[in-house]
């Protein structure tokens, strides 16, 4: 198995170039919040691993690549040959929402939210039955502000080849976004925040974890959702087989602009297989999620290297919260694998808590009791003075 052996990226210097502001008109704008959309130009420098191929041009070639990269065939060459230090400007589409009540007690605590693979920033601001599924709605009602963005390649953010888009550059972008927020940029009427909390889901949790590992001063607290660190329960090989990836552009006209490096799971049931656990979700929500799904650059999962994340010296509070039946990080059952070794990895934290959210799969915001877990997140922040 080659997956997960190639992360070499470290974050270096990045600079703000320009920004464009527009009022948020999304129909899902939370009722009790004031939201602003931003288009932010980020200059990022990162080591980009060079994909050596073979680059697939059709679904058969893609499937053959997955068989090789995923299996036990000995001595397969790495799909990457070297890396290049690349500096580039990227446009990032983002939204900042703050409670309508400007004096809300936590408004100066800003959550910086990074979505996972297969989603865009709307994961945090789902228009489907917002009272039940919309995190931004919930958090702003609790008085918190939330900054959420489209990861590189998706939504309103810059396009980039699906054979190039990867972990290191996304980490460099997240680092820079955190520093902008620290300086009071893109925070609407809030100005300079009192504190910044990184919030990740899945791939977004990898990025958030990595940022506090490389740069412990970047933020004040860390919330990792849909995530796990116990290697014996991490079965990415199973996940890749369950996804049954296809080239995204061939599956949906909406994906026409994406090159062959962008893939997507084959259908609704592959989505349910990996992101949901019955009977704890509504089929209509799964169908909605499938209709809004986003392509995955194959080099994103290929460049994660779970084993190589350094031990954070991060002292702020850390909450790791994952669904009891998460298939992707716990091979379907988290109860006995969530706490360890995460408790050691986050040993420098003044408050580490692992929490198995009952009756939930991997796509936490899409399950029936989403507001139950939202409450665990905001209660944890409150208990830690944030």
Ligand X SMILES: *[C@@H]1O[C@H](CO)[C@@H](O)[C@H](O)[C@H]1NC(C)=O
Site for ligand X in 211-240 (CB under 6 A): 230, 232
Give the residue from 121, 125, 118 showing the smallest Cα distance to 289.
Answer: 118
Do residues 226 and 234 make contact, with C-beta atoms less than 8 angstroms apart? no
CA distances from 42 to 185, 198, 206, 357 (A): 13, 18, 20, 35
Nearer to ligand X, 119 or 281 (CB): 281
Rounded least distance, CB 150 to ligand X, Å: 24
Please identify which residue in 50, 159, 331, 359 interacts with ligand X, judged by CB under 6 A: 359
Which range, of 103-111, 116-124, 186-194, 351-359, touches ligand X by CB under 6 A? 351-359
Host H or E run for residue 110: strand 109-114
Which C-beta is closer to ligand X: that of 188 or that of 363? 363
At closest approach, how far in Å is the CB of 371 from ligand X? 8
The CB-of-12 to ligand X minimum distance in angstroms stands at: 4
CA 233 to CA 220: how far, in whole Å?
29
- Cα–Cα distance, 4 to 1 (Å, whole number): 8
CB of 355 to ligand X, least distance (A): 7
Q: Within positions 301 to 340, which residues make up the interface with ligand X, using CB under 6 A?
A: 336-337, 340
**Which residue pairs from 124-127 have beta carbons closer than 8 angstroms and sit at least 24 positions apart in sequence?**
124/148, 124/365, 125/26, 125/28, 125/29, 125/30, 125/95, 125/97, 126/28, 126/365, 126/366, 127/26, 127/27, 127/28
Residue 47 as a binder of ligand X (CB under 6 A): the answer is yes
Measured at the CA of 221, the angle between CA 195 and CA 102, to 5 degrees, comes to: 35
Closer of 282 and 359 to ligand X (Cβ): 359
Question: Do the strands 221-225 and 318-323 form a parallel or antiparallel pair, or are they unpaired?
Answer: parallel
Residue count, binding to ligand X (CB under 6 A): 18
Q: Which residue is nearest to ligand X (CB)?
A: 372
Q: How far is CA 337 from CA 209, 210, 240, 275, 346, in A?
A: 18, 20, 21, 18, 15
Contact status, residue 118 vs residue 294, Cβ threshold 8 Å: yes
CB of 344 vs ligand X, minimal distance in Å: 7
Asked if 150 interacts with ligand X (CB under 6 A), we say no
- 224, exposed or middle or buried, with CB in 10 Å at 0-12, 13-18, 19+? buried
In the complex, what is the shortest distance from the CB of residue 373 to ligand X, in angstroms, rounded to a whole number? Answer: 6
Is 358 a binder of ligand X (CB under 6 A)? yes
Pick left, alpha or beta for residue 31 (phi over 0 → left; psi -120 to 50 → alpha; otherwise beta). alpha
Q: Which region, judged by CB under 6 A, interacts with ligand X, from 179-187, 234-242, 300-308, 355-363? A: 355-363
Q: Closer to ligand X at the Cβ: 12 or 189?
A: 12
Least gap, CB of 323 to ligand X (angstroms): 10
Footprint of ligand X on 238-257 (CB under 6 A) = none
The reply on whether position 357 binds ligand X by CB under 6 A is yes
CB closer to ligand X, 154 vs 330: 330
Contact predicate 187/108, CB 8 Å: no
Options 341, 350, 383, 385; binder of ligand X; rule CB under 6 A: 341
- Interaction with ligand X in 365-384: which residues (CB under 6 A)? 369, 372-373, 376
C-beta closer to ligand X: residue 18 or 231: 231
- Provide, rounded to whole angstroms, the least separation between the CB of residue 322 and ligand X: 11
Rounded distance, CA 286 to CA 275, Å? 9
| Beta strands across the sheet bearing 33-51 | 15-23, 33-51, 80-99, 145-149, 109-114, 195-201, 221-225, 318-323, 352-357
One character per residue 82-111, x = contact with ligand X (rule: CB under 6 A): ---x--------------------------
Q: Minimum distance from CB of 339 to ligand X (Å)? A: 8
The SS3 of residue 116 is: coil
Does the footprint of ligand X cover residue 179 (CB under 6 A)? no
Pick between residue 22 and residue 232 the one whose CB is nearest to ligand X: 232
User: Distance between CA atoms of 149 and 95, rounded to whole angstroms?
Assistant: 6
Select from 6, 29, 36, 45 the one that contacts ligand X (CB under 6 A): 45
Q: Which residues bind ligand X (CB under 6 A)?
A: 10, 12, 45, 47, 85, 230, 232, 336-337, 340-341, 357-359, 369, 372-373, 376
């Amino acid at each position: 198995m080659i997956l997960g052996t190639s992360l070499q990226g470290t974050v270096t210097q990045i600079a703000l170039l320009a920004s464009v502001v527009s009022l948020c008109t999304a129909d899902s704008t939370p009722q009790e919040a004031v939201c602003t959309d931003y288009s932010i130009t980020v200059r990022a420098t990162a080591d980009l691993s060079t994909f050596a191929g073979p680059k697939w041009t059709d679904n058969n070639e893609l499937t053959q690549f997955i068989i090789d990269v995923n299996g036990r065939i000995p001595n397969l060459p790495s799909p990457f040959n070297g890396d290049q230090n690349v500096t580039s400007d990227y446009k990032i589409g983002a939204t900042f929402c703050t409670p309508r009540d400007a004096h809300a007690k936590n408004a100066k605590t800003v959550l910086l939210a990074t979505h996972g693979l297969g989603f865009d920033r709307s994961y945090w601001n789902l228009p489907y039955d917002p009272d039940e599924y919309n995190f931004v709605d919930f958090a702003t009602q609790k008085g918190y502000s939330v900054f959420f963005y489209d990861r590189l390649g998706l939504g309103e953010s810059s396009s980039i080849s699906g054979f190039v888009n990867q972990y290191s550059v996304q980490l460099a972008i997240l680092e820079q976004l955190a520093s902008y927020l620290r300086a009071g940029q893109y925070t609407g009427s809030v100005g300079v925040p009192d504190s910044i909390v990184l919030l990740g889901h899945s791939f977004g949790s990898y990025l958030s974890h990595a940022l506090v590992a490389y740069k412990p001063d970047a933020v004040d607290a860390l919330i990792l959702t849909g995530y796990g660190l116990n290697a014996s329960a991490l079965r990415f090989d199973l996940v890749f087989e369950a996804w049954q990836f296809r080239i995204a552009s061939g599956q949906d006209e909406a994906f026409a602009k994406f090159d062959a490096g962008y893939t997507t799971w084959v259908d609704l049931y592959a989505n349910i297989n990996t992101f949901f656990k019955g009977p704890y979700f509504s089929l209509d929500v799964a169908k909605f999620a499938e209709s809004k799904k986003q392509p995955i650059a194959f080099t994103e999962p290929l460049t994660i290297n779970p084993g190589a994340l350094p031990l954070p010296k991060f002292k702020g509070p850390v909450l790791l919260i994952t669904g009891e039946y998460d298939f992707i990080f716990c091979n379907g059952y988290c109860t006995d694998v969530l706490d360890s070794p995460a408790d050691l990895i986050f040993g420098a934290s003044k408050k580490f808590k692992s929490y198995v959210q009952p009756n939930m799969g991997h796509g936490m915001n899409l399950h029936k009791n989403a507001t139950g877990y939202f409450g665990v997140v905001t209660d944890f922040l409150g208990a830690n003075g944030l």
